[in-house]
């Protein structure tokens, strides 16, 4: 699911299948896929862990975020302008179609399997996974216009980070109207990825700092510094 100031993101290759499921591994690690500096990485959501590179920088497909369907393990990705489907078994990409946008930055599925996107202009979209058509929910955008990333909680609440001057802001968004409800400042700038695992909200900054976020206050608490740079998304 995110924004990267440098618009640097993923160049996919068939090695994607090596990290097909964002589930707990036999060793007990919980891993997610993260796009960073034109590569795909498998990141451990813990205070310590061995992150690994999954895909090299080829072929040249620039992505801004990833999202996995809650049913069936289907993986999707966006560039600023287009939607792609990714085969988690062999890493092949299928171009679904143009979104009709020029600045898509964030991607997330709700628990029922509806895909949503967020733009650099603060617009929330509902996205058709068959046609790639993106329908604006709040065409006017948000006051704090840059959506860093989106993530649905298991109960269906949609969380988002918005870029502010001194600190990113954690909000909830109404999926029907796009209206934002302020939770609080995170104390961190440049959160480029959000994800939920086991009821816990995780984030990662564009500079590779792994975080947990307090859902009631918005406060970000550092877990560790990963070796990643120019992070643009987290599934």
Coarse DSSP helix, strand, coil percentages of the chain, rounded to the nearest 5 percent: 5, 45, 50
Residue 7 lies in a domain: no
Distance from CA of residue 54 to its chain's centroid? Answer: 17
Work out the pLDDT band at 94, boundaries 50, 70, 90: confident
pLDDT per position as a tens digit, 187-235: 999 999 999 998 999 999 999 999 999 999 999 999 999 999 888 899 9
Range of the domain at 158: 14-234
Residue with tokens 């068939």: 14
What is the number of other CB atoms lying within 10 angstroms of the CB of residue 229? Answer: 12
CATH number reported for the structural domain that contains residue 211 in this entry: 2.120.10.30
Work out the pLDDT band at 165, boundaries 50, 70, 90: confident
CA distances from 16 to 11, 19, 53, 89, 189 (A): 11, 6, 10, 7, 29
Closest CA to 204 of 172, 219, 226, 174: 226
Phi, psi of 14 (to 5 degrees): -65, -5
User: What's the pLDDT score for residue 10?
Assistant: 40
Residue 3 lies in a domain: no
Closest CA to 74 of 130, 29, 25, 147: 130
Residue 155 lies in a domain: yes
pLDDT at residue 25 is higher than 70: no
Residue 120 lies in a domain: yes
Residue 2 lies in a domain: no
Residue 5 lies in a domain: no
CA distances from 11 to 8, 21, 32, 61, 228 (A): 10, 19, 17, 5, 15
Structure tokens at 176: 């029907």
Residue 4 lies in a domain: no
User: What's the pLDDT score for residue 18?
Assistant: 35
Q: How many residues does the chain have?
A: 235
Residue 127 lies in a domain: yes
pLDDT at residue 89 is higher than 90: no
C-alpha to C-alpha distance for 95 and 193, rounded to whole angstroms: 23
Give how many domains the chain has, as a whole number.
Answer: 1
């Amino acid at each position: 699911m995110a924004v990267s100031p440098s618009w640097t993101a993923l160049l996919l290759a068939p090695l994607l299948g090596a990290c097909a499921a964002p589930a707990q591994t036999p060793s007990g690690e919980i891993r997610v896929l993260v796009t960073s500096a034109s590569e795909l990485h498998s990141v451990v959501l813990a205070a310590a862990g061995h992150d690994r590179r999954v895909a090299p920088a080829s072929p040249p497909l620039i992505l801004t975020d990833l999202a996995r369907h809650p049913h069936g393990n289907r993986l999707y990705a966006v560039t600023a302008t287009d939607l792609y489907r990714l085969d988690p078994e062999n890493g092949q990409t299928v171009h679904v179609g143009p979104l009709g946008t020029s600045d898509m930055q964030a991607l997330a599925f709700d628990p029922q399997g509806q895909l949503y996107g967020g733009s650099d202009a603060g617009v929330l979209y509902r996205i058709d996974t068959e046609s790639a058509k993106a329908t604006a929910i709040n065409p006017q955008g948000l006051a704090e216009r840059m959506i860093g990333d989106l993530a649905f909680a298991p109960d269906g609440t949609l969380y988002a980070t918005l870029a502010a001057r001194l600190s990113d802001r954690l909000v909830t968004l109404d999926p029907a109207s796009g209206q934002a409800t302020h939770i609080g400042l995170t104390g961190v700038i440049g959160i480029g990825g959000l994800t939920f695992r086991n009821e816990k909200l995780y984030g990662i900054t564009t500079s590779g700092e792994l975080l947990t976020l307090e859902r009631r206050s918005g406060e970000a608490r550092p877990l560790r510094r990963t070796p990643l740079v120019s992070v643009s998304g987290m599934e």
